[in-house]
Structure 1
Amino acid sequence: MTDEQWSQLAPLLPPQRPWTGRPGLDHRTVLNGVLWITRFGSAWRDLPERYGNWKTVRSRFYRWQPQGLWAQLLTRVQERADHAGQVEWNVHMIDRTIVRAHQSAAGAKKGTAMKRSAGHKADSERRAT
């Protein structure tokens, strides 16, 4: 994350907890770790060490989820970009990885039995003696 991007997001995050006891991981490192996970679709345990302990990043991610922080960040970033004229609201995009098609969408006709392959038929005629 660039310094400019961080300067826009930092005020939107909750206050950093005071340093009592063991110092906590700063929000910028955590946010970079979350962005790394979402970009590569990796497991939490595979998070590189430069982003801190994967358990810390994961726990903060899940702590912020019920607080609605991620939705607030998206809304505020969109509002700022819209105010600056950087958003085209008439352009839409759907990620195919989240849209599931029904099995009949693969070209199968409804109500017809599937034909078995010749290999399957030959295999079913064999009998053990």
Structure 2
Amino acid sequence: MARHSLSNDQWECIKDLFPERKATGRPPTDARVAFNGILWILRTGSPWRDLPEEFGHWRTIYGLFDKWNGDGTLDAILDRLRTAHIDGEVIDNDLWCIDGSVTRAHRCAGGGGKKGIRTNQLTMR
């Protein structure tokens, strides 16, 4: 199993959320392969055009991502996988940790500018 792919148990948990294959027309992209491609993009942060060919054409996978995101399929998948992990006691539902660290930057890094007003000597005469 690839690092970014669903395990067989995870796939069994969510496979009924995807539409059934139609008997006629062009054969659709395998939902498991397409979903693994979406996970690869989300995990790596790569552009869609850099999706490896093993997942299919990037436009097809992006189209499915957009469709599933719009109709709520991805939310249902996330809820079901989260519930399975909590019920399987993989995630402790009582303990949640939040990183509260702060990274400071100079005021000018946030667009605040430097102290004082810079003046152009030519315009001040």
TM-score by length of 1: 0.68
CA spacing shift, 1:115–1:81, aligned 2, 3 Å = same
Alpha-carbon distance in 2 for matches of 1:55, 1:80: 31
Residue in 2 that maps onto 1:39:
43
Residue in 2 that maps onto 1:24:
28
Alpha-carbon distance in 1 for matches of 2:77, 2:116: 49
- Aligned-residue RMSD, C-alpha: 3.3
Alpha-carbon distance in 2 for matches of 1:93, 1:30: 32
Deviation at 1:19, TM superposition (A): 4.1
The residue correspondences of 1:45-124 to structure 2 (distance < 5 A) are: 45-89=49-93, 90-93=95-98, 105-108=104-107, 113=115
Deviation at 1:55, TM superposition (A): 0.8
Identity of aligned residues (%): 34
Residue 82 of structure 1 aligns to which amino acid in structure 2? I
Higher Cα radius of gyration: 1
Residue in 2 that maps onto 1:119:
none
CA spacing shift, 1:22–1:111, aligned 2, 3 Å = closer
Alpha-carbon distance in 2 for matches of 1:114, 1:8: 61
- Per-residue CA deviation, residues 56-96 of structure 1 (Å, 9 max, x unaligned), is 100000001121122211111122222222222322345x9
More helix by share: 1
CA spacing shift, 1:2–1:87, aligned 2, 3 Å = closer
Equivalent in 4, 7, 19 of residue 2 of structure 1: 7
Deviating more after overlay: 78-87 vs 35-44:
78-87
Which structure has the higher relative contact order (CA within 8 Å, separation 6+)? 2
Alpha-carbon distance in 2 for matches of 1:111, 1:44: 36
Q: Extract unaligned runs of 5+ from structure 2.
A: 1-5, 121-125
Work out the number of aligned pairs and report it.
110
Q: Which stretches of structure 1, 4 residues or more, deviate above 4 A after TM superposition?
A: none
8 A Cα contact 1:16 1:26, kept in partner: no
Q: Extract unaligned runs of 5+ from structure 1.
A: 117-123, 125-129
